[in-house]
Amino acid sequence: MSEFTPRYLADYQVSAFTISTIDLTFELDDTATKVTSVMSVKRQGSGEEPLVLDGEHLTLLSVKIDQCLLSASDYYLSATGLEIPVRADEFQLTIVTEINPQDNTALEGLFKSGDAFCTQCEAEGFRRITYYLDRPDVMAVFTSKVIADKIKYPYLLSNGNKIASGELDNGKHFVQWHDPFPKPCYLFALVAGDFDLLQDSYLTSENREVALEIFVDKGNLAKAEHAMASLKNAMAWDEETFSLAYDLDIYMIVAVDFFNMGAMENKGLNVFNSKYVLADTESATDVDYYNIEAVIAHEYFHNWTGNRVTCRDWFQLSLKEGLTVFRDQQFSGDMNSKTVSRIQNVRVLRSQQFAEDAGPMAHPIRPEKVMEMNNFYTLTVYEKGSEVIRMIHTLLGAEGFAKGMALYFERFDGMAVTCDDFVNAMADASKVDLTQFKRWYSQSGTPHLKVSESFDPEANLYHLTISQHNQAGELSSPQSCLHIPVKMELIDADSGIGQQQLLELTAPEQTWTFEHYQAKPVVALLEDFSAPVKVDFEQTDLALEVLMLAASDGFCRWDAGQKLLSRYLHKLVLEPGYALPASLITIFSKILQKDSDPAFTAEQLTLPAFGEVVDQIHQVDPLALVNALKTLKGFLAKGLQEPLSACYHNCAEKTALSHQQAIGNRALKNICLSYLAVLPGADTLVAAQLSSAANMTDTLAALNASAYNNLPAFDSQMSAFESKWHDTPLVVDKWFTINASLNSDDIFERLAALLKHPLFSIKNPNRARALIGAFVSANPQYFHCQSGRGYQFLAEQIKRLNEINPQVASRLITPLIQYKEYDLSRQQLMLEQLKVLRALPQLSKDLLEKLDAALN
């Protein structure tokens, strides 16, 4: 019963006990691993409370307090924990448990990834290893001894520094590790296996020599080079930007194939999904390279924002995640094109986070009620959380923000703290009042800005009025309105000269007046996407075209084009035969001919994603939107055929480019291909690119074009690809993804066959997502088909995953619980599947929480 009760932020209480040290011994075995834990425990309160330890899926072998072995009548054992009515205020507690890593398909706690043992303890997985106070404000010094077969597991790893190792009987050996930094148990890690090891080192600004080690599956050594280079760049960046240097003598990263998420920042021993480590140009795309750099940096940055200063409780998750995402985004912006990086952040926010904020699981970046913590590693906590930090950065300036960070570490190093603690440090260091700003932490929903303008030609005055509204569209009250930084530029229509300014919207409605304008200026609003809001502002096509070419801010140039395209997509959804204006061709041919960064031009030519438009149209018919996207793409392809083709061939012929230039060049070439491939006779062009492609980026672009247009050669192209890559798991994932996104009426027969394919395994999260997740997000035409078969397919797979891996099941259900975005007939079909799932016996807590939220 207690397992299914929600917890509330308001109920936070300090732990009745603390644990200052924990000594762990693991005797590794596939099905019966023995875990011995020796802890120094101390009462914190004055009361007589019993010691209540968390524990799940454990077999308890023994409990000892000091030298006294307890019998079963000395404690209460339940499915969720162990309660000991202890009297002493300070004692040594010894607990021995047995666990089964082999059968652990949930991939939480200790599990097997292929032949290796590894752990995942965040958020509450340590309780699947031993009985413990599994909460982030209980911080202990960990010592861990790992014992295993020497031949099968030559590498035995844990957090901190190696302090002992040696041989044991029966072909076993051991290694003992000590982590001097007290930490919550969610940062504990253990890995045992046989790997190839890439070694390097880094000299910190404090002249500390740090050994850098990346462990990968045998044969993959060369594929770890990019991750290593990224790690060193991240280490240098954090020293330069925030004066933060690494603190241990060794930093290890292990890449595993079975992992629920991207990666995990365990102190000194990061565990990564191999997808975010392994890359070479033949097998990985430019996007893969970009993501590896970002995730490597993200986990590294956690060493300070998350590990040295951690969260008081899980409601504060955005304290470490929002801040660390902000840090990795800034880093990625510095390493790559800043504008293109920013555009990618905004696309994710608009196409996914806005939907989450409008759906049944909407929550503030600091949630107030949680049933299953794993359900709150969300786009809201991470991405919107990062936007909130970015707004603080905007309001304080880079220097004020850096001062705030310095004060934050001065105050809280080694502690478990709250989001309020962070904001207070920022406010105190910069002397900027952030009292009203804090409302961003407790309000859910995407704020809406309504904008109007007027021009007085007599007085040469320009007035800009902005009001703020909540998710439901109601004008915010003075008590609820947010502090919103609005960066903007006024562009003089004649000279094209702009004036930039930061407006601070703090009231429900405000008007700003600008003097000395001879003619009405064009306003570029929300430069660099300075706040995570929706903007309601009816700018004319002409004004948007001015912005596309003349706004100083790259984000605004891009955004104006997206607004123009969305406007016509909307018209096409309402009226499929709508005659699109020739002006669209004119402006986009100007964009194509403009001498911009090719990576940026590629973004300008990219149509808004399905999910972005869904969010803009009330109860949209998804097939009408699929068709609108097809029509607009065809219209642009036809009207721009010549310049697109010229641009394509120009890019294809370019040689002697720098690494960064080559990436931008490929992006531009491949967006041109995606247009040209919808025109008659595309087969030859796609086939030619496929046969000449020297890297995965170009190969995948061609295969995707083949899948989107259901080209006749699709099957033969895919089987050639399969024969070439069947031994490379990350590329096999790509193969499943392209198969799942094929626009073909027999897609459901194909999906059934793919589920039975020898390379498919629903137990591997990457593989499950590559097939099921990709069908759902990359094949809207069939996922949303009128028969409801798409929804039924998803529900059936979620049903299987409910028993195998609840975390993966719970993430895949997202589009179904967001049923209100679609027309009423889709809503009915989705609801039907939600009810089927709700009726399942043995529903996991993860799914139950979401289903109950969706079905009320």
User: What residue ranges bind ligand TRP (CB under 6 A)?
Assistant: 120, 122-123, 260-261, 263-265, 298-299, 321, 374, 377
Q: Least CB distance from residue 321 to ligand TRP, whole Å?
A: 6
* Long-range contacts formed by 217-220: CB under 8 A, 24+ apart: 217/114, 217/255, 217/257, 217/274, 218/194, 220/196, 220/255, 220/278
Q: What, of Zn ion, ligand TRP, none, does residue 264 touch, CB below 5 to 8 Å by kind?
A: ligand TRP
Buried b (16+ CB within 10 A) or exposed e, 749-774: ebbeebeeeeebebebbbbbbbbbbb
Q: Are 598 and 651 in contact (CB under 8 A)?
A: yes
Q: What is the 3-state secondary structure (H, E, C) of 358-401?
A: HCCCCCCCCCCEECCHHHHCCHHHHHHHHHHHHHHHHHHHHHHH
In sequence order, the β-bridge partners of residue 98 are 34, 59
Q: Least CB distance from residue 769 to ligand TRP, whole Å?
A: 14
Q: Which of residues 284-343 bind Zn ion (CB under 5 A)?
A: 321, 324
Q: Least CB distance from residue 213 to ligand TRP, whole Å?
A: 19
Closest CB to Zn ion among residues 213, 321:
321
Q: Other CB atoms closer than 10 Å to residue 457's CB: what's the count?
A: 11
Q: d(Cα 186, Cα 108) in Å, to the nearest integer?
A: 11
C-alpha torsion sign, points 536, 542, 544, 546: negative
Closest CB to ligand TRP among residues 247, 299:
299
Q: What, of Zn ion, ligand TRP, none, does residue 260 touch, CB below 5 to 8 Å by kind?
A: ligand TRP
Q: What, of Zn ion, ligand TRP, none, does residue 347 touch, CB below 5 to 8 Å by kind?
A: none
Instruction: Give 218-270 as a DSSP string.
Output: TT-GGGGHHHHHHHHHHHHHHHHHH-----SSEEEEEEES--SSSEE--TTEE
Closest CB to ligand TRP among residues 136, 498:
136
With vertex at residue 124, the alpha carbon angle to CA 119 and CA 128, rounded to the nearest 5 degrees, is 55
Q: Least CB distance from residue 106 to ligand TRP, whole Å?
A: 10
3-state secondary structure of 37: strand
Q: Are 123 and 51 in contact (CB under 8 A)?
A: no
Q: Least CB distance from residue 214 to ligand TRP, whole Å?
A: 17
Q: d(Cα 177, Cα 164) in Å, to the nearest integer?
A: 7
Beta strands in 470-556 (DSSP E): 484-491, 498-505, 509-514, 522-525, 534-536
3-state secondary structure of 677: coil
Q: Least CB distance from residue 26 to ligand TRP, whole Å?
A: 20
Q: Least CB distance from residue 426 to ligand TRP, whole Å?
A: 22
Decide if 299 is catalytic.
yes
Q: Least CB distance from residue 307 to ligand TRP, whole Å?
A: 10
Please report, for residues 60, 63, 543, 601, the alpha-carbon distance to residue 528 in angstroms, rounded to integers and kept in the order given.
Answer: 55, 57, 18, 17
Phi, psi of 762 (to 5 degrees): -75, -15
With vertex at residue 262, the alpha carbon angle to CA 258 and CA 263, rounded to the nearest 5 degrees, is 85
Find, among 180, 136, 142, 179, the residue nearest to 417 by Cα: 136
Q: Least CB distance from residue 249 to ligand TRP, whole Å?
A: 23
Q: What, of ligand TRP, Zn ion, none, does residue 379 touch, CB below 5 to 8 Å by kind?
A: none
Closest CB to ligand TRP among residues 321, 621:
321
Please report, for residues 69, 84, 416, the alpha-carbon distance to residue 72 in angstroms, rounded to integers and kept in the order given.
Answer: 10, 10, 35
Instruction: Please identify which of the residues 299, 527, 545, 821 carries the catalytic annotation.
Output: 299
Q: Least CB distance from residue 317 to ligand TRP, whole Å?
A: 9
Q: Are 251 and 210 in contact (CB under 8 A)?
A: yes
DSSP 308: T
User: Rounded to a whole number, what is the distance in angstroms from the first to the last CA of the chain?
Assistant: 20
Report which residue type is found at 438: K
Q: Between β-strands 250-256 and 196-203, what pairing exists: parallel, antiparallel or unpaired?
A: unpaired
Q: d(Cα 690, Cα 703) in Å, to the nearest integer?
A: 7
Q: Under 8 Å CB-to-CB from 574, ≥6 apart: which residues?
A: none
In sequence order, the β-bridge partners of residue 17 are 43
Q: What, of ligand TRP, Zn ion, none, does residue 122 touch, CB below 5 to 8 Å by kind?
A: ligand TRP
Interface residues with Zn ion (CB under 5 A) are 321, 324
Q: Which residues are catalytic?
A: 299
